[in-house]
Structure 1
């Protein structure tokens, strides 16, 4: 029998080493309105909510903005110290010690970890990288395969997202009331197709939704996944869930 871990049950304990990328951006209400800060894996706000915009940490660094109307970006470390500043239309997360920058004239260049322009260096190929199953569509359902003819999981899912850290979001019709939407998932499965995390629609006595589906879930990052409570950008709330089923924000 498949083991299910419901959102309401948070009994599994996982020891997880603290790394530079186990901080996650969240919005919190302050005296100056909603601002972005960062939480850790326990859901504690460890970097004060003071930014107008905040990106994910990558390789121990994150890009934030103190003023959304400005083109100035701050690169901060896990102690909220500013490493450097730059002006740009947009900046991408660090990867292999370099970040891509889109300039004001839409030209592209790269910077190193100190903000100095550098030549692009292709990351080294990892020939030992783990192969990850990809979704495929067949007869109105989704499944996973490793290649054109190597089916890992049959096409039985209403929706199927990408695997990361050996977990993938899917939508399963557990009951006739389970109706999928775009970017909507109600479970996470492992590489064996076992349901590891499951959510369901629950309402309180006043008719308000208490728990709902996983909308637009991101990639798992050190055992934590970001998702939203709906598809509506005006009303949806950003949430984080751990791979032990605990919702930390």
Structure 2
């Protein structure tokens, strides 16, 4: 008998919304385990489709830096890759762990950062942008201006920007007088030359000039000339970036070469050699997984909702 299973691959875009505001981050997912729903409970499967962590939760996120968020009733906690509960379910809201090994959580109306042992770090957060902590600094807004402070609530970079993103690789995108540039951890500014800028990922940052998107390196050199219509997500991940050309998405290498031509309605980043892609319209289309050659290796029956896929498994 076949059992219907939903696989949910959550991808945070900050910005990504940064755009995402997926400012987001520049989290790194440990995606050799994937959230899966069976009979209204969530667990995890491996790359081979076999269940590794028994479905038992009311919701579940991707693994990020070794831990995943799981929902029990109305409260969130964290488990490790073995399924062990390492931080008990006690938070009304939670976010993924990032490269600083801290995660933002809420208990009722109070927001804090915790470490991987569940210990509160720093002061209670007030009016701090969600997903705003990275590389030791919190992106924060006072009135209409953005700046950065540390966990001790001390201002480190003055509140003078119209918008500010998270730090990644030692740099953060910021906006001033209608243009985007970058600052380093000391607040030194680099070239407000762009119509839009995302954070650095794998040493490159997506920037937009005259409605076309390209990539710069940390020296400010345009290493991939502006030629694309847009991007999905934050930028490069596992060696590839997802770019949009004429309303279709494909994948480029760090050299700017289109390794998989733009042909998908939606696409998400590669993990362990596979990337989820969507074909067709939201009504008649379907999700599947392609390998790095662009070959469809897992074919989904239908798209249920954002980032959720239905498969038939034995």
User: Do they superpose with TM above 0.5?
Assistant: yes
- CA–CA distance in structure 1, aligned partners of residues 59 and 249 of structure 2: 29
- CA–CA distance in structure 1, aligned partners of residues 54 and 286 of structure 2: 19
- Is the aligned partner of 1:193 residue 2:256? yes
Given that residues 170 and 188 in structure 1 are in contact (C-alpha distance below 8 angstroms), is that contact kept between their aligned partners in structure 2?
yes
Given that residues 158 and 170 in structure 1 are in contact (C-alpha distance below 8 angstroms), is that contact kept between their aligned partners in structure 2?
yes
- Residue 79 of structure 1 is matched in structure 2 by 82
Structure with bigger RCO (C-alpha 8 Å, 6+ apart): 1
Q: What's the TM-score, normalizing by structure 1?
A: 0.62
- CA–CA distance in structure 2, aligned partners of residues 88 and 133 of structure 1: 35
Cα RMSD (Å) of the superposition?
Answer: 3.7
Q: CA deviation at 1:230?
A: 7.7
Which consecutive unaligned segments of at least 5 residues does structure 2 have? 1-28, 124-132, 137-167, 171-199, 301-314
- Is the aligned partner of 1:52 residue 2:55? no
Given that residues 167 and 191 in structure 1 are in contact (C-alpha distance below 8 angstroms), is that contact kept between their aligned partners in structure 2?
yes
- Residue 3 of structure 1 is matched in structure 2 by none
Report the CA distance shift for 1:98/1:222 in structure 2 as closer, same or farther (over 3 A).
Answer: farther
Q: What's the TM-score, normalizing by structure 2?
A: 0.51
Aligned with residue 146 of structure 1, among 189, 197, 217: 217
Given that residues 169 and 201 in structure 2 are in contact (C-alpha distance below 8 angstroms), is that contact kept between their aligned partners in structure 1?
no
- CA–CA distance in structure 2, aligned partners of residues 243 and 187 of structure 1: 11
- Residue 38 of structure 1 is matched in structure 2 by 44
More strand by share: 2
Aligned with residue 266 of structure 2, among 201, 211, 214: 214
- Is the aligned partner of 1:110 residue 2:162? no
Report the CA distance shift for 1:94/1:192 in structure 2 as closer, same or farther (over 3 A).
Answer: same
Question: What do the CA deviations read for 1:110-143 (whole angstroms, capped 9, x no partner)?
Answer: 223222323479747977x986222233344322
Report the CA distance shift for 1:54/1:170 in structure 2 as closer, same or farther (over 3 A).
Answer: same
- Is the aligned partner of 1:26 residue 2:26? no
- CA–CA distance in structure 2, aligned partners of residues 103 and 23 of structure 1: 30
**Partner SS state of residue 88, structure 2:** strand
Report the CA distance shift for 1:231/1:81 in structure 2 as closer, same or farther (over 3 A).
Answer: farther
Q: CA deviation at 1:43?
A: 4.0
- CA–CA distance in structure 2, aligned partners of residues 27 and 228 of structure 1: 18
Given that residues 69 and 94 in structure 2 are in contact (C-alpha distance below 8 angstroms), is that contact kept between their aligned partners in structure 1?
yes
Which consecutive unaligned segments of at least 5 residues does structure 1 have? 1-19, 173-178, 201-211
